[in-house]
Chain A
Amino acid sequence: MEWLRWERNPWGQEILIGLSWDLVWVAVGAGALLVVAHAIVYLWRWRGLGAGAAAIRESLLKQLPERILRHSLASRLFHWVMAVSVLTLLFTAFLPIWGVKFPWVTAHWIAGLVLTAAIIFHVIHASFWKGLSLMWIGSQDLTDGWLAVKQVLGSAAPPGKPGKNPLENKLFHHSVAVATLATIVTGLIMMAKVDTPWWHRNPYVLADATWGIIYVVHGAGSVALLTLIMAHLYFAVRPEKRWITLSMLHGWISRERYLEHHDHARWPVGGDASAASVAQPRDAGARRAGAS
């Protein structure tokens, strides 16, 4: 197996062409391994543990409305626009490599531009409305993460309930962020090489060696996204995670799920307890946190 592809250019220099596509299979294998490993650990350790259903406090239950807002409309729109564009990018990138031939270039760069616009929106939205602290990994997250690992190894002490986003969600978010940013930044540079309605292609804005590095980074980001999206889809369809997946459609979770899976102190939610309402976060900081 090779890691990189090299060729000899017209001047007799060995130049980097890109990532070896053997790594696509490594990425698919890693995704499959992760799925199988999780399924085994789930069946072995986590099935039947529950997330603290018994600990739901009746007093709190009565204070909360039936529905708790987990994802605002803006967040959900961003998520689904990103989902469609990333899937389009992956299909148009990897199907031709796997032998399914079709005119893919135009669809690929258009999907790339849509993804770029969505990410710019998300960065602004997260920075000024939602709050960056929502995804910050704190010491409590690390402690809970370590307890979760120990639980897999047989410890009886369960990890504490997370705030709005558990550690695994934050780690997934940051991994996707790194892979996506690497891919779109290099992808935008690579657009210099294709004809668009706005400019004519010019592959000579950078030297061969620089292009090689850009192609490697683009390929590495794309291959990493393959594994990450496989994992994401797996968790999205797992029965015990379905309430999270549905919240990305409806925006809300039930108060029982909220109390069962989240620490009220770390993700405070208040509001009218009437059946039809959706709870808003209590204070300014929490309001930002609640609408992510």
Chain B
Amino acid sequence: MAIIQDMMPAFELFQPASVTDALALLNRHGKEAWVLAGGMDSLDWFKDRVKRPKVVVDLSQIKDLKGIRQQKDGIEIGAMTTLTQVSANSLIQSRYGLLAQAARKVATPQIRNQGTIGGNVSQDTRCWYYRDGMPCYRAGGNTCYADTPTAMNREHCLFEADRCVAVSPSDTAPALIALDAKFVIRNSKAERVVEAEDFFIGPKVDIKRMTVLQPGDILTTIRIPATWAGARFYFEKVADRDAWDFALVNVASAMIVEGGSIKQARIVVGGVAARPWRLKPVEDSLRGERVSEESAELAGQTAIWGAKPLNYNHYKVLLMRNLVKRSVRGVKI
């Protein structure tokens, strides 16, 4: 159980100045090391004393991991670039407005000034049973406290529950998947590039992780190709509060529309599964359709097919349907 004392247990802090040094530290300390980005997720864990790493490797001093760079075929965003920098960047605003919009919806200005895009996509789930230190499946135990007749599960998942019913809390993750981003991951042995969609994993594959990041890995860069630059974007987040809150459901869509017909579409919904939930059947059904009330309605209905609500989150089914519908109608942007 979490003991909320606002005092972190002691750990050894390292602030390397290069990725190579950071990787060497992670390699040396193995599973005892914790990678710290902006600290918005990590410090919660430490203060609640649920996670007690012996070594913390703070990436904030690595200049190579910061900044937004235009490339020949898109842009590169350093994983330690703050959410404020992402949302305020003119290139992102003009060509990848979806990401700017999503980043602007994260928490509060103070948190966006400190929180990074790498941290936002890599953060752990916010299931309060898990965050409170209960010995659930995700924490290495053998039960789920959120999926019971009386549990508080209105924030939990509709899809892909597999023992654990927690959801991905990120706002920028659905936007990055919709933009077909690639994530660059480095460890002491090699560098690998994974599709944004494949970066996130559900409990079926690994119940203790939200992403493919392993001990010793650092997410260094996010690459967004030019494929979807300037497309018709839509992002909407519904939360209990307008600020400083995680999404109950969010939706990010990118569409290439020509002559009123949808040529291509990518739609991703957050807050409904342990990973951002890409709606491939909806995307397929929209291809070649005209943007209309009927196609939007059909998209909304298709999106919720297979949803399995828990006791207190049935509202998410309707919320998701309407958000997808609105994303196709394109009320915003």
Q: What residues of chain A have their CB less than 8 Å away from a CB belonging to chain B?
A: 5, 7-10, 12, 15, 17-18, 96, 101-103, 105, 193-195, 201, 203-204, 208, 211-212, 215
Partner of A10, one of B145, B161, B204: B145
Question: Shortest beta-carbon distance, A187 to chain B, in Å?
Answer: 13
A238 to B140, CA, bound (A): 40
Which residues on the A side are within 8 Å of B163 (C-beta)?
Answer: 105, 193-194, 201
A193 to B143, CA, bound (A): 8
B225 close to A (CB within 8 Å): no
The residue on A at minimum CB distance from B148 is: A204
Given A10-B1, A102-B205, A203 contacting B134 (CB threshold 8 A): no
A204 to B134, CA, bound (A): 16
Q: 1/0 contact trace for B1-21 toward A, CB 8 Å?
A: 100000000000000000000
Question: Shortest beta-carbon distance, B207 to chain A, in Å?
Answer: 9
Which residues on the B side are within 8 Å of A7 (C-beta)?
Answer: 135, 139-141
B171 close to A (CB within 8 Å): no
CB pair B140–A201 under 8 Å, yes or no, is: no
Which residues on the B side are within 8 Å of A215 (C-beta)?
Answer: 142
CB pair B141–A17 under 8 Å, yes or no, is: yes
B144 close to A (CB within 8 Å): yes
Which residues on the B side are within 8 Å of A211 (C-beta)?
Answer: 142-143
Which residues on the A side are within 8 Å of B140 (C-beta)?
Answer: 5, 7, 17
Task: Tally A-B pairs: CB < 8 A.
Answer: 49
Determine chain A's interface SS by DSSP, over half rule: mixed
Question: Shortest beta-carbon distance, B56 to chain A, in Å?
Answer: 23
A7 to B138, CA, bound (A): 13
The residue on A at minimum CB distance from B139 is: A7
CB pair B162–A103 under 8 Å, yes or no, is: yes
6 closest Cβ pairs, A-B complex: A7-B135, A103-B204, A101-B206, A203-B143, A101-B205, A10-B134
Question: Shortest beta-carbon distance, B202 to chain A, in Å?
Answer: 8
Given A15-B135, A105-B162, A208 contacting B143 (CB threshold 8 A): yes
CB pair B205–A8 under 8 Å, yes or no, is: no
Pairs across A and B, CB under 8 Å, 14 listed: A7-B139, A10-B129, A12-B1, A17-B135, A17-B140, A17-B142, A18-B142, A101-B206, A103-B162, A105-B162, A193-B143, A203-B143, A203-B148, A212-B142
Interface hits, B102-146 → A, CB 8 Å: 129, 132, 134-135, 139-145
Which residues on the B side are within 8 Å of A18 (C-beta)?
Answer: 142
